[in-house]
Amino acid sequence: MISNRITKGINGSANIPGDKSISHRSIIIPSISNGICEINNLLRSEDVFHTLNAFKAMGVKIEDNQHNIIIHGKGLNSLEKPHDEIYLGNSGTSARLLTGLLSGQKFRSVLTGDKSLSKRPMKRIADPLKKMNAKILTNNGTLPIIIESSNLISSNIDLKIPSAQIKSGLLLASLNTEGTTTLKEYKITRDHTETMLESFGANIEIEKLENTKIIKIIGKKELISKNISVPNDLSSSAFFIVSALINKNSHLILKNINNNPTRNGIILALKKMGANISLLNQRSNNNENICDIDVTSSELNGCELGPEFADLMIDEYPILAIAASFANSPSIFKGLNELKVKESDRLKLILLNLQNCGVNCKVKDDDLYIYPTKNFNFINNTIQTDFDHRIAMAFAIMGTKIGPLNIKDSESINTSFPTFIEEFNKLGGQIF
């Protein structure tokens, strides 16, 4: 894929796909609930369809009418033993959430993934599940994972690693566990799982203290299905937002965007940098905050973000680094250790690719320093992505300002935003 410079700005209204995190949960939770769930605006991407196909393989009746997905759930213990290994492609969300859910089922299952997913750490979910008496065997801490049938026991677990995937896996395991399981969270992570479980009638109690969030869930209560309308994805929106900010004569309106306060760090960070962003028509849908976003070209200033921002926007640092490269002053982004264990080592790739584009930047410990320049001197215009969709899209936006950039392995974009190129070019982009 080649991304080239644009000269007339980005203008219009893009069709942003459904939220990826919520889409995964919109398949998982109705599949173990009682009743029929109609899902509108599900993200139709490779990652999400790996989750969908996993539940089909476990006997769940799922209809795809193109306009919506209909799931016929039959309860917590209705899943059937799959005939084969469950292949999850590149989806870390699928792997960690299903590890939790399947640890309490009455059959043996095996989870596998592609080359990239098979390198990602899975002990972080396996170890706390073992405290609940789960029988899980990893491949030296990675996939494939073998999950044996087990009677889980309720537990008190401190979440040492700030991860919505770990928390969600444990919550899903707790649903089918006798007694009360208590999770203590010391840093903010996405709350889509507990939000949806509440709406489906789970016996869940959430207490928010000054520095701690305590979640208590009493297992064995059956869930009742309800229809879901998936809001559009803020993470996917971020690429369009930054493109409008850094390219002159741009104006975008993005509609029905999820503005969940546990993951809106990209908006907060860009506003801190002076971005002209307005949140319009703010409302609630399925207990999620929704808004429309109005964004115009802006003169950005650098900023310093502490580690707490990483909890709110770990997926958005690749595109935020692009914005910072065109600011009027330096930026420092601190505490980015979790970037090293995403779909790729994102911290390494951000540094490598920015430097190849002529940006003066460095990484010290887990902190990223970016020193903007008005004159970009290419070292290499080939962008290494290691099959990471967010690296690919972020540097596609970089190319619209300095292009041309040759984005390697850009097919990875299909894991989260299959229509990215089409939508971007409709607004004035030059990606081929």
Which of 233, 311, 315, 367 is the catalytic position?
315
C-alpha–C-alpha distance, residues 45 and 49, integer Å: 6
Beta bridge partners of 36: 72
Residue 315 is a catalytic residue: yes
Closest Cα to residue 169, out of 186, 152, 45?
Answer: 152
378: its two tokens: 């290419």
Sign of CA dihedral 362, 364, 365, 369: negative
| Calpha distance 100→358 (Å, rounded) | 44
Neighbours of 33 (CB within 10 A): 25
Taken as a whole, the chain contains a residue count of 432
CA gap 185, 308 in Å, rounded: 14
Q: How many CB atoms lie within 10 A of CB 208?
A: 10
Q: What's at 381, amino acid-wise?
A: N
Burial class (CB within 10 angstroms; exposed 0-12, middle 13-18, buried 19+) of 134: buried
Distance of alpha carbon 174 from the chain centroid? 22
Catalytic residue ranges: 315
